[in-house]
Amino acid sequence: MLNFLKGNWYWMLGVTALAGYLGFALQGGAEQVLMPGITTHGHYQIELDCAACHTPNMGVKQESCNECHAEELERVDDSHPVIKFKDPRNAERLAHLDARYCITCHREHQPELTTPMGLTLPADYCYHCHQNIAEERPTHVGLDFDSCATSGCHNFHDNTGLYERFLVEHLDEPDFKPDAYLRVRDYYLTHFGERGEALEQARAEYPHELKVSQDILHDWSATSHAAAGVNCRACHDMPDAETGVMVWVDKPNYESCQKCHDYEVKGFLEGKHGMRLAHGMSPMTPGMARLPMKPESAHFELSCMSCHSSHEFNTTFAAVDACLQCHDDQHSTAYKNSPHFQLFTQAEDGLRTPDEAVSCATCHLPRVEVSKFGETLVRVDHNQNNSLRPNDKMIRAACINCHGLQFSLDALADPQLIRNNFNGQPKVHVESLDMAREEQERTEASRR
Amino acid sequence: MKKTIIITIALGLSAITGWLATGCSKTEIVEVAPPGVSFEKLTDALHMVLENDRTVYTQKVVNRLVKEDKVIKASEHWSEDQALPLPAQMFRMGAELTASKDAWFSYSLQSLWPINKSNAAGQTEVEKKGLEFVAANGGAEPFYGQETLGGQNYFTAVYADVAVAPVCVSCHNEHKDSPKTDFKLGDVMGGVVIRIPMDS
């Protein structure tokens, strides 16, 4: 035996090492070990899906960036689209900053270089093309180029809440608008109200052999689903992967919701809660998150049902308590001491209308207007990235419904006010509107 | 002997027939060399299409609906205002769409009096020379030049962009960022720059 070991120890060591590595790789550990550096807050959830961004030779595909981000960039009328830099006359500029490629400014796995906005360039990059801006805009004389992207001034891509005409149109607004109401969700009222006649418990349709609790039946019968004639099978019947025949599924996933709520599910899959599912990975759990989360929720798997529950579909719960069952950062925990929460509870108590109830979802999963075929309807954007970083992306979707633009910009630029969930007045003053006013007055004077 | 002569004649006729037949089919498949087009003709052709499309949009869509029928507005913020894109924006969108398809040529609208200054910030010396040339001759003839950008040689043509409708003049004269406010109908307001790489 000893002789056998002596003669074959290197084989045994090799086989043991190989088995260990394969086991490790099966757990996803190989990618983790090969990770060249910590990924950004935008990509860490899918960092183990290397092929989502990389070529087999570990290059980076521009197309990968486009697959997830192109639609948003087009929607917000990207101020610096790639095509702008393809013009040969920009060849000299590209030598300084090749803006044809996302990775020029957004390199991954570079934590020591990465700013909160995911930028991996020195912040004065605007200088390369806009060094003469002060000649065109006297209001910008003396401003440092690393201050262009200061909160409330400019963004490289999305300036839908910051461009000059928008600022001018919102000069002199009161901090609190007298007609402060949220948009009313009307899509499902308009398009699904006539789906079918209201159903009561006795008309619930499910396989006879299934034992369905009274609680479930009661929950369902009290929902807008039952009221709109959406029976059990509308959600639980899904096509069999092989035969395509509709079969009953006990726990349907987002694909079931998608049948009617395509817009909402699309946003969910693009957002922080669903992006792992969109990449064919296991569901996101709070335990994977980088933000502080409640330890007791660490293993909670995120799906549509995490916030909307399986049969109650309580949007009031989904708008606040669903968030707070996991999120445990300062901003989240301060919400229930905030003026926004006071409005929310007053609406719950019937002292205000539901469209005055400001919840977590009001700002992070906002109600947005979606136009199609000449009709504009209000739906809920479940992709929180659309209104999160830079946070002035939130202005048009949320803040400005109730607050003046100056107040909104100031509040969003005040880190302490954000931490305490807007409990107080902004102590920061953003000068964008002052500059817009000055520019307007200068133009009017030159015309006289 | 007779037999030999007949066979010889028959073979000869066959050979002549075959030669003729081959010759005919050869004539049919002769490859015609593609017509050589000068850079000037090529950019002239591209410009004619661009100019005509833009003129039709300006006169028959924007000017008619905005100035004459007054049924809709044209706006720089056309998406937000649910209005018509300005002709210059329509032109730029087409140029950007062309660029997005990785076209081997490019075109843009330039001016010595740009409303959007950053659009002119990267104007090359040849572009400036071309814009001055077409402005000085009132658009009577285009400007052709050559330049090297990013190590690539380009044939660059500049064509006068003329105010073809009242809406061109009023918009440019009234815009707050316009450096020139006395344009008249028929004036050269800028130029269409078309750029073709000269190396394969």
Six token digits for residue A210? 């299934």
Cα–Cα distance list, B12 to A2, B21, B22, B128 (Å): 96, 14, 15, 72
Partners of B193 on chain A (C-beta within 8 Å) are 89
A204 contacts A217 by C-beta, under 8 angstroms: yes
Residues in chain B: 200
Distances (CA, A) of A181 to A59, A315, A393: 48, 18, 19
Q: Which chain B residues have any C-beta within 8 angstroms of a chain A C-beta?
A: 77, 79, 96, 99-100, 102, 106, 108, 117-118, 121-124, 127, 149-152, 154, 176, 193, 195, 197
Query: Cα distance from A153 to chain B (closest Cα, Å)?
Result: 18
Give me the residue spans of the domains in chain A: 33-124, 187-419
Please give the pLDDT value at position A113: 93
- What ipTM describes this predicted complex? 0.76
| Burial of residue B21, with CB atoms counted within 10 A of its CB: 0-12 exposed, 13-18 middle, 19 or more buried | exposed
Question: Is B96's CB within 8 Å of A83's CB?
Answer: yes
* Residue B23 pLDDT grade (very low, low, confident, very high; cuts 50, 70, 90): very low
- Looking at residue A8, what is its pLDDT? 77
The contacts of residue A434 (CB under 8 Å, 6+ apart) are none
Please indicate whether, in this complex, the C-beta atoms of A92 and B122 are within 8 angstroms of each other: yes
Chain A interface residues facing chain B, Cβ-Cβ under 8 Å? 77, 81-84, 86-95, 129-130, 132, 136, 165, 443
Q: Testing the interface with A: which of B82, B111, B113, B117 to mutate, by most A Cβ within 10 A?
A: B117
Q: In sequence order, what are the residues at sequence separation of 6 or more whose Cβ sits closer than 8 angstroms to the Cβ of residue A116? A: A41, A389
Residue A156 clears pLDDT 80, i.e. is over it: yes
Strands (E), A222-349: 237-239, 246-248
A11: closest CA of chain B, how far (Å): 55
Q: For B39-197, CATH number?
A: 3.30.450
Collect all residues of chain A within an 8 Å Cβ-Cβ radius of residue B126.
Answer: none
CB contact (8 A) between residue A443 and residue B176: yes
Q: Amino acid letter at A397?
A: A
Q: What does the pLDDT read at residue B75?
A: 93
Region of poorest pLDDT, from A99-108, A185-194, A284-293, A390-399: A185-194
B18 to B10, B12, B88: CA distances (angstroms): 12, 10, 63
CB contact under 8 A, A129 and B127: no
pLDDT in tens, A126-154: 999 899 899 888 999 999 999 999 889 99
Q: What percent of chain B is predicted at pLDDT more than 70?
A: 82
- A424: which residues sit within 8 A by CB, 6+ positions away? A417
Average pLDDT, integer, range A337-363:
96
Mean pLDDT score of chain B: 87
Average pLDDT in the A198-226 region? Answer: 94
Residue A441: closest C-alpha in chain B: B176
CA distance A202 to B65: 59
Residue B5 has φ and ψ, to the nearest 5°, of: -65, -45
Where does the pLDDT of residue B116 fall: very low under 50, low under 70, confident under 90, or very high at 90 and above? confident
Over residues A11-25, the mean pLDDT reads: 69
Check CB contact under 8 Å for B122 and A165. Answer: no
Average pLDDT over residues A222-236: 93
Statement: residue A73 has pLDDT above 50:
yes
Number of A/B CB contacts below 8 angstroms equals 51
pLDDT for B25 equals 46
What is the per-residue pLDDT for A255?
Answer: 96
**pLDDT in the model for residue B4:** 60
Which amino acid is it at A372? Answer: K
Neighbours of A159 (CB within 10 A): 19
Domains of chain B, by residue range, sit at 1-32, 39-197
CA dist., res. A177 & res. B167, Å (int): 38
Q: Which residue of A has its CA nearest to B96?
A: A83
Residue A45 to residue A285: CA distance in whole angstroms? 10
The pLDDT assigned to A136 comes to: 84
The answer to which of A291-305, B5-19, B25-39, B137-151 has the lowest mean pLDDT is B5-19
- Nearest-angstrom CA–CA distance, A11 and A3: 14
The residue type of B179 is: P
Residue A321 CA, distance from chain mean position: 18
Residues of B in contact with A87 (CB under 8 A): 99, 106, 108, 122
- Is residue A118 pLDDT above 60, yes or no? yes
CB contact under 8 A, B195 and A88: yes
Say if residue A74's pLDDT is above 60. Answer: yes
Find out whether A74 and A5 touch, Cβ atoms under 8 Å: no
Average pLDDT, integer, range A367-373: 89
CA A228 → CA A109, A220, A224, A309, distances in Å?
Answer: 49, 11, 6, 18
Does residue B26 have a pLDDT over 60? no
CA distances from A175 to A127, A368, A407, B172 (A): 34, 22, 5, 36
* pLDDT tens per residue, range A386-414: 999 899 999 999 999 999 999 999 999 99
CA atoms A134, A415, A391, A80: torsion sign: positive
Q: Which amino acid is at A352?
A: R
Q: Between chains, do A92 and B127 touch, taking CB under 8 Å as contact?
A: no
The 3-class secondary structure across B71-118, one letter per residue, is: CCCECCCHHHHCCECCHHHHHHHHHHHHHHCCCCCEEEEECCCCCCHH
Chain A interface disruption, residue of B89, B123, B125, B149, most A CBs within 10 A: B149
Note the pLDDT of residue A77.
92
Q: Look up residue B67 and give its DSSP letter.
A: I
Band of residue A297 on the pLDDT scale cut at 50, 70, 90: very high
* Candidates A89, A91, A130; nearest CB to B127: A89
Supply the pLDDT for residue B3. 60
Nearest to B79 among A77, A132, A165 (CB): A77
Which pTM does this prediction carry? Answer: 0.85
Looking at beta carbons, which residues of chain B come within 8 Å of A95?
150
Q: Give the C-alpha separation, B196 to B181, whole Å.
A: 33
Q: Categorize the per-residue pLDDT at A35 as very low, low, confident or very high, splitting at 50, 70 and 90.
A: confident
Best residue of A87, A162, A163 to probe chain B, by most B CBs closer than 10 Å: A87
